[in-house]
Structure 1
Amino acid sequence: MDLHLTVQRSLAPEPGCSLEHAVMTSCDREPIHRPDAIQPYGLLLVVDSTSLKIIGGAGDIEGRLAPDWLGRPLADILKIPESRLHDEKRPSLSDLRVAGLKDETFSILRHAQGTHLLIELEPVEAHNLLTWDIFGEIDSTADRFERCPDTTSVCRQGAAIFRRLTGFDRVLVYRFMEDGTGRVVGESRNDAFPSLMNHHFPASDIPTQARALYLRNRIRVIPDITYEAAPIRPPEAGLAGLDLSDVQLRSVSPIHLQYMANMGTRASASVSLVVDGVLWGLIACHNATPRCLSEDIRAACRTLAGVMSRQLRNKEELVTYQERLRLRNAMEFVTSHFEVRHPIESNLRSFMGELQSLFPCNGFAVISDQTITGTGVLPDAENLHRLHDWLRLGTNGGIFVSTMLGKDYPPAAEWPERSAGLLAITLPFRTPTCLIWSRVEIIQTIEWAGNPHKDTTEGSDVLRPRASFRTWEQTIRGHSTRWTSEQKQAARRLRRVLIADYQTQQLRELNATLAATLEERESLLRQKDFLIREVNHRVQNSLQMVASFLKLQARSASNEETTTALTEAQHRIAAIGLVHRRLYRDEHFGIVDLGRYLEELMEELCSSLGGDWQEQLHLSLFPIMISADRAINIGLVLTELVINASKYAYDGKAGPLHVGLAQTSDRLVLTVSDQGECTPQLKGTGFGTRMMNAVVNSLSGTLTYTTLTPGLEAVMTLPLDSILPSEADASTEAALSQPPYPYP
């Protein structure tokens, strides 16, 4: 039902167009903002915005304003200064009054429309100017709205206030529903009209373009539906199709006039209720006899509608806030009491009652795999399992909401008495889990103001306005009560919280498993450490025993060559023993700082060769971490080179000795040089020479000699790849160098 502007599947008629022509087309395509005519109780002047001369108009301009109006300057006709028409600080002309030819006084409204100015002239009574009484009415009305507890009370109070203010026979507060239909939620009337309280109206009664105009023009008046439209003239002015969206006097479609006549309404007014920029509803005023609303009453209605709209928003926001607060508190209570040591599925089943109370429902269930735990009115287990499988296939972000489950999931049409509405949360756990809140069918009887189906002329497709508004009842089945937007948002929030709890629990279990694994590894490493240190202790004892035997044997040997060989053997054993001591004294098994090791080796070797060597020794050692077995080999080579320098360069006495260790690019260089006069045999075939060559070859290195003047320099070059720690050694070092993992 278009209470004041709507047409039923009609086309905006040309001036003089018949009803038969208008009813042939679709109402949602009717250009009702371009009727090319006005209601004749006022006048319309169309002015060129550049020259400010009148180029067209509508109504009895000659008889009520000026006989020779066409082509004249607007300022001359209205008898106002031309400067006022250009005054940007005061663009409105609503404060001005124009005297007519028949003792009439007109108010002025100005609208800019492209290259035109549209000037509305509407007759006013002198005593109808705004008074302090109206301001007082506005103030007291705002106070009454403020005291209303909810939107229902605001609508009922608003209907009574607007009827008292306008004097109309019936005032309805009409609200637009989510599906586009309308419902009367407030009413005040006398005996001239029947009651339409709680009656519904189809969405087609107020088409899209009519709703857009209700947003643009907040008040609309039709003083008498029996008027004869006044066309815009002259025809040669080319003003056909002029946009009259903002014009209060705009003519009404003949279909709508017939619609009002069928309702028994002679005059009407409508005031828009706009909440946050959206058309919330209408205040619809009906009168059985012609009735006009004066300018001051329209201004008061416009103001009161704004006050009422703000109160409607406040009441709805209060309800929304309270519902959100309740849902948040209830959700936090449930999730905060979950037992962290129990699986999330077990917690869900332990708090069935609390979860069910989150959203008003008739039944609640937790479904996972082959297990269903439910309470209240629900479908049987087999249907629940099938419903669960269907929900898991959905791509709705894990949330499914329906108030007509049989439409979305056809099998549910067989059991609406057990579930007609559903709110479901699917959880992507290791075992897929689903929470469902179910509502049973609510059988509703909706009262329509007449049959909502379109009336047609018998035997044709011509659509006409509904002729009857007698109560027409319709029974609605298969629907449940509506799930609110707050409930949907809370469901999404609950899903996020449950998934986060599940992930935290999984992480906690993973950390516990990792902690146990690391503890077991630490235990194994401690056992390994104990065994290695025990082996080292025994190796050290064995090496010391061998060294002692060699020392005793050297003392008892009568051959100098034998004594020398036994002494060299002691030095070699000492080099191996030093590596073992360095290796197992460090924190990282298997890895040795070569520079530090060689420094200690030289100190011990010089001590065994004689105290004078300490002053002659010069070290330049680069620190580098290498494998322990490689360090032993390098230590043996260095020991052999030093023994050779002592034996051949200085004939067993102390002399200057330089030992260097450096890294160049991808190679390690060990240098031993002396300043002795004697030069050893570079191509020796003794045990020491063969041993050095074997060790150097095993490391993929080279050993070269350079004769100095005086002295000899031995250079051993090794590729880093052959001596650096292996990946296994490095990983072991990294693991042992880290502190214990912090577990929650």
Structure 2
Amino acid sequence: MSYQVDLTNCDREPIHIPGKIQSHGFLIAVNSKTYNISYVSENVDAFTGFTAINLLGKNITEFEQLLKISGDVASLQQLLNLAKATKTSDTINPLTIDVKGLGYNLIISHSLNDLVLEFESAESDLGYDIQKTIGRSVSEILSGKNLDTLLQNAALEIKKIINYDRVMIYKFNDDGHGEVIAEVKNDHLEPFLGLHYPASDIPKQARELYKINLTRIIADVNSESSAVVTFEEDAAPLDLTHSCLRAVSPIHIQYLKNMGVESSFSISLIAHGELWGLVACHNYSPRFIDYKARDASKLIGQILSSALEYRQDEEDNTKLLELTEAADTISGYLKKDPDFTYALIGNNVTLKDVTTATGVALIYNGEIDVVGQTPTKEQIAEIAEWLKTNMTDTVYSTHRFPTIFTAAQQYSDVAGGILACWLSKELGEMIIWFKPEQVTSIKWAGNPEKPVEETKDGLLQLSPRKSFESWTQIVKFTSEKWKNDEITAVLKVREDIIYAINRKANEIRILNERLQLAYDELDTFSYTISHDLRTPLSSIKNYSELLLSSNNSLDEPAKKMLDRIIKGTDKMHMLIKEILHYSRVGRADLEMSPINMGLLLREIKREVLSALKPGNIEFTIGETPSIIGDSVMITQVFTNLINNAVKYSSKSIPQKVAVHGEMQNNEVIYSVSDNGVGIDINYYNRVFELFKRMDNAMEFEGSGVGLAIVKRIVEKHNARIWFESKLGIGTVFYISFKTS
């Protein structure tokens, strides 16, 4: 036989319609239109001498006469008229009356189509008027300077007022489970302070009723409840939501018995409209305090609720102010600093300070920058990939990250919780804040997993714990929770960052428009150089050559002068050609493809050697791994470097030039070396500048443009170029190409 465990039977128990009341008072309900008695508790006989059956159907006036109700109040009918006119009867409750000579508190409440009248003894075992002590007690409670002191004072003063054996302040956590955060008790009792109680101990519907009924007394767990009867067999049970005498769930009664508690009293603590916690009072013998004492306790609870709401808001506002100030400071940095990344993480106040995180990672523009305690950049990249799939909203947060992303269990000491926000989902740009794991020992009041018992119909359901011996649970892979204030601050700083990104994007757009205009002007200038300058230069050269060849009467100085003119024009032609080439490299589109470097280098070697006079040159080509690039531009790079190597080593004996490539990690690195004149260390920072030539290179032909073109092409390929050189020994140029 298979069983289904019913873990929600407590949550589904209809505790607002138990069909019974506690036995320390009696109840009647009258139809709100006719005022005829529609429901009555069976124990009415013990208090009045009239059976429930004899009272059902009678009018309230007749009931009043039968019970000889008297007191300094209006008639019951008049009181019911007053109650009907209001949504709540708090303003008239309780009404002190005599029933057959005995003092009772009459409490009137609403129940769907009926008005409920509950009769409780006006006597209390406190022996004094609690309302007279409230002023002093409230003053003592509010003297606490912080929230913890406030709550401890409240527990102490409430114990003085109602004299229960144990008074606890019980706070609900986000997941519904509760914790005792303040306690005052009789000396012989074991402490409950710091113990946690599972959410199932106070089920959901009970918590909802605590928001409606701000006090709740269970006078004696061992007394038998009294049924509420009606003359209609198929009538719905009387709704006792607002009842003071409403019977207690059998599950809860057994729960209290298992704890050894014989009487309990609770006061609801409400903050921002939600049940924040309870003042839970236990007595280890039966106790009854009258309605006036409970009402005075409710007032203390309301004052305490307002105070803790104010104190909590005060503490939250202080923290929010700190976070907001950090966000405002970063916003100021973004407006002043053109370096976006530095503005966010390079100053005294950084993105980390926008939350209470211990570390933050900025993933922007293809880079990962971190501040504080964070996972490694490789681990952050893995987290970012996970977030790309799992982060559907602008902001994502969890205080249990390693239980969701199991790889994070390896570094939970820095990433027990994360808070992330998108900057650009399309580009995978985001910010991630980290909080460390806080391994916590939670002391439960007994094992929080209630024993499972089988019912008569074969269904397994939860039953009250029998043991409340402290049971410790170690909670791992969790961090301090992210507060709403932190998320608010993150959203603010994100808005400022997005604005700064958009502002920078607009600036780039304007710069691009200006750059396009400059390109257009450069094209015009290039045309002017190529057309308007080349034509007169060609004329000068042609006329000079004509004079030199046709006029035999020229003396030697004149011939030398014409020869210099011809060489000068050739040099100007070459410079114009190189300048045009340099200006067009930056704008040319790359046609990327695999390049057979062995074939390319052998072709360059053949062309270079064919232009030289036969001589003693050692030109070696080593390993030639393939690269990805624009074949035309890469040919220009190696042609230029090899020509330079051959040219500047031409006076060396023997002359040596070598080209070699090798794979290193994710790069292919090529070297072009020679044993030539070398480069003076004073010129190292000028090697790749336009028109810069070394002093020891002046005797070699050149324009000073070639290496500038090489550097521009290399950078366009997202590659790197550098060199090593010594005067009189030679030079080695290195180029590193990424493989992916």
* TM-score bin, normalised by smaller chain: 0.5 to 0.7
Note the alpha carbon deviations across 1:667-686, whole angstroms, 9 max, x for none: xxxxxxxxxxxxxxxxxxxx
CA distance in 2, matches of 1:489, 1:56: 53
Of 187, 191, 202, the match for 2:187: 191
Does 2:117 match 1:134?
A: no
Provide the rounded CA distance (Å) in 1 between the counterparts of 2:126 and 2:386: 67
Q: In structure 1, how many angstroms separate the alpha carbons of the residues matched to 2:94 and 2:395? A: 57
CA distance in 1, matches of 2:124, 2:8: 44
Instruction: Give the structure 2 partner of residue 35 of structure 1.
Output: 18
AA aligned to 1:328 is: T
User: Would the aligned equivalents of 1:111 and 1:246 in 2 still touch at CA under 8 Å?
Assistant: yes
Q: Is the 8 A contact 1:184 1:197 kept in 2?
A: yes
Confirm or deny that 1:46 pairs with 2:40. Answer: no
Do the aligned residues in 1 keep the contact of 2:104 with 2:121 (CA within 8 Å)? yes
Structure 1 residue 279: Cα displacement = 0.9
- Going from structure 1 to structure 2, the CA distance change for 1:134 and 1:111 (only over 3 Å counts) comes to closer
- Correspondence for 1:104: 102
**Which residue identity lines up with residue 93 of structure 2 in the other structure?**
S
Are positions 1:244 and 2:240 aligned together? yes
Q: In structure 2, do the counterparts of structure 1 residues 85 and 380 end up closer, same or farther at CA, with 3 Å as the change threshold? A: closer
Q: Answer yes or no: is the 8 Å Cα contact 1:145–1:311 preserved in 2.
A: no
Structure 2 unaligned blocks of 5 or more: 525-740
> Structure 2: how far apart are the matches of 1:393 and 1:94?
59
- Does the 8 A contact of 2:335 with 2:500 survive in 1? no
Structure 1 residues 230 and 188 mapped into 2: Cα distance closer, same or farther (>3 Å)?
Answer: same
Q: Is the 8 A contact 2:134 2:300 kept in 1?
A: yes
Q: Which runs of 5 or more structure 1 residues have no equivalent in the other structure?
A: 1-8, 11-22, 526-744
Contact 2:37 2:59 (C-alpha < 8 Å) held by counterparts: yes
The one-letter code sitting in structure 1 at the alignment partner of 2:13 is E
Matched with 1:284 is: 280
Q: Distance in 2 between matches of 1:151 and 1:512?
A: 57
1:701-743 deviation per Cα after TM superposition (whole angstroms, max 9, x unaligned): xxxxxxxxxxxxxxxxxxxxxxxxxxxxxxxxxxxxxxxxxxx
Contact 2:401 2:415 in 1 (8 A): yes
Query: In the TM superposition, what are the counterparts of 1:674-693 in structure 2 within 5 Å?
Result: none
> 2:450 & 2:31 partners in 1: Cα distance?
44
Matched, 1:427 2:423: yes
State the distance in 1 between where 2:441 and 2:323 align.
31
Report the AA paired with residue 409 of structure 1: F
1:97 maps to a residue whose letter is T
| Alpha-carbon shift at residue 106 of structure 1 (Å) | 1.1
1:211 pairs, out of 190, 207, 221, with 207
Counterpart check, 1:401 vs 2:401: no
* Aligned AA (1:196): F
Partner of 1:474: 473
- For residues 625-652 of structure 1, the C-alpha deviation after alignment (integer angstroms, 9 at most, x for no partner) is xxxxxxxxxxxxxxxxxxxxxxxxxxxx
Would the alpha carbon gap of residues 372 and 521 (structure 1) be closer, same or farther in structure 2, given more than 3 Å must change?
Answer: closer
In the TM superposition, residue 126 of structure 1 has moved relative to its aligned partner by 9.1
2:63 is aligned, of 42, 62, 77, to 77
State the AA in 2 paired with 1:39. Answer: Q
Deviation of 1:402 (Å): 1.8
Partner of 1:489: 488
The reply on whether 1:345 has 2:331 as its aligned counterpart is no
Displacement of 1:107 in angstroms is: 1.2
Task: Indicate the residue corresponding to 1:202 in structure 2.
Answer: 198
| Alpha-carbon offset, residue 295 of structure 1 | 2.1
CA contact (8 A) 2:19 2:227 kept: yes
Q: Which moved more, 1:266-275 or 1:377-386?
A: 377-386
Counterpart residue number, 2:256: 260
Letter in 2 for 1:64: F
Secondary structure of 2:104 counterpart? strand
Q: CA deviation at 1:345?
A: 2.6
Instruction: Judge conservation of contact 2:337–2:343 (CA < 8 Å) in 1.
Output: no
**Which residue in the other structure is 1:410 paired with?**
406
Contact map agreement 1:365 1:435 (CA 8 A) in 2: yes
CA offset digits 1:408-448 (Å, max 9, x no partner): 32321232123221122332299653332222211100000
Deviations along 1:515-556, whole A, 9 cap, x unmatched?
56669989999xxxxxxxxxxxxxxxxxxxxxxxxxxxxxxx
Q: Counterpart amino acid of 1:464?
A: S
**In 2, distance between residues paired with 1:138 and 1:60?**
34
Q: Percent identity?
A: 27
What amino acid sits opposite 2:63 in the alignment? I
1:293 is matched with which residue: 289, 292, 313? 289
Say if 1:267 and 1:290, in contact at 8 Å, map to a contact too.
yes
Contact 1:173 1:284 in 2 (8 A): yes
Q: Deviations over 1:144-182 (max 9, x none)?
A: 344323322222111111111111000111111111111
User: Given the superposition, is the C-alpha separation of residues 56 and 499 from structure 1 closer, same or farther in structure 2, using an over 3 Å criterion?
Assistant: closer
Give yes or no for contact 1:379–1:419 (8 Å, CA) kept in 2. Answer: yes
Contact kept, 8 Å, 2:31 with 2:114, in 1: the verdict is yes
Q: How does 1:153-164 map to 2 (within 5 A)?
A: 153-164=149-160
Task: Give 1 or 2 for the bigger CA radius of gyration.
Answer: 1
Q: Which residue of 2 aligns with 1:561?
A: none
**Equivalence map 1:205-604=2 (5 Å):** 205-233=201-229, 236=232, 239=235, 241-338=237-334, 340=336, 342-351=338-347, 354-368=350-364, 371-428=367-424, 432-457=428-453, 461-514=460-513
CA distance in 2, matches of 1:519, 1:389: 40
SS in 2 for 1:446: strand
Q: Secondary structure at the match of 2:248?
A: coil
Q: Which moved more, 1:402-411 or 1:447-456?
A: 402-411
State how far apart, in whole Å, the 1-side matches of 2:168 and 2:78 are.
44
State which drifts further: 285-294 or 426-435: 426-435
CA contact (8 A) 2:19 2:237 kept: yes
CA distance in 1, matches of 2:473, 2:352: 32
In structure 2, do the counterparts of structure 1 residues 350 and 85 end up closer, same or farther at CA, with 3 Å as the change threshold?
closer
What RMSD in Å do the two structures reach over aligned CA positions?
Answer: 3.3
2:413·2:436 contact (CA, 8 Å) conserved in 1?
yes
Tell whether the 8 Å contact from 1:34 to 1:244 is kept in structure 2 after alignment: yes
Structure 1 CA distance for aligned equivalents of residues 326 and 7 of structure 2: 57
| 1:702 corresponding residue in structure 2 | none
> Using the alignment, how far apart are the partners of 1:30 and 1:429 within structure 2?
47
**Cα distance, 1:264 vs. partner?**
0.8
For normalisation by structure 2, the TM-score amounts to 0.63
- In structure 1, distance between residues paired with 2:7 and 2:335: 69
CA distance in 1, matches of 2:393, 2:462: 44
Compared with structure 1, are the counterparts of its residues 49 and 66 closer, same or farther at alpha carbon in structure 2 (3 Å cutoff)? farther
Q: Distance in 1 between matches of 2:340 and 2:467?
A: 60
Alpha-carbon distance change, 86 to 278 in structure 1, aligned in 2, over 3 angstroms: same
Instruction: Tell whether the 8 Å contact from 1:38 to 1:58 is kept in structure 2 after alignment.
Output: yes
Using the alignment, how far apart are the partners of 1:520 and 1:255 within structure 2? 84
CA contact (8 A) 1:128 1:296 kept: no
Query: What secondary structure is seen at the aligned counterpart in 1 of 2:294?
Result: helix
CA deviations on 1:351-373 (whole Å, 9 max, x unpaired) are: 37532233233333333465333
Contact 2:358–2:434 (Cα < 8 Å) also in 1: yes
- Partner in structure 2 of residue 579 of structure 1: none
1:86 is aligned, of 68, 74, 81, to 81
Q: How many angstroms does 1:394 deviate by?
A: 4.3
Taking structure 1 as the reference length, what is the TM-score of the superposition? Answer: 0.62
Q: 1:173-208 deviations in whole A, cap 9, x for unaligned?
A: 111111111111111111353211111111111111
Q: Deviations over 1:603-644 (max 9, x none)?
A: xxxxxxxxxxxxxxxxxxxxxxxxxxxxxxxxxxxxxxxxxx
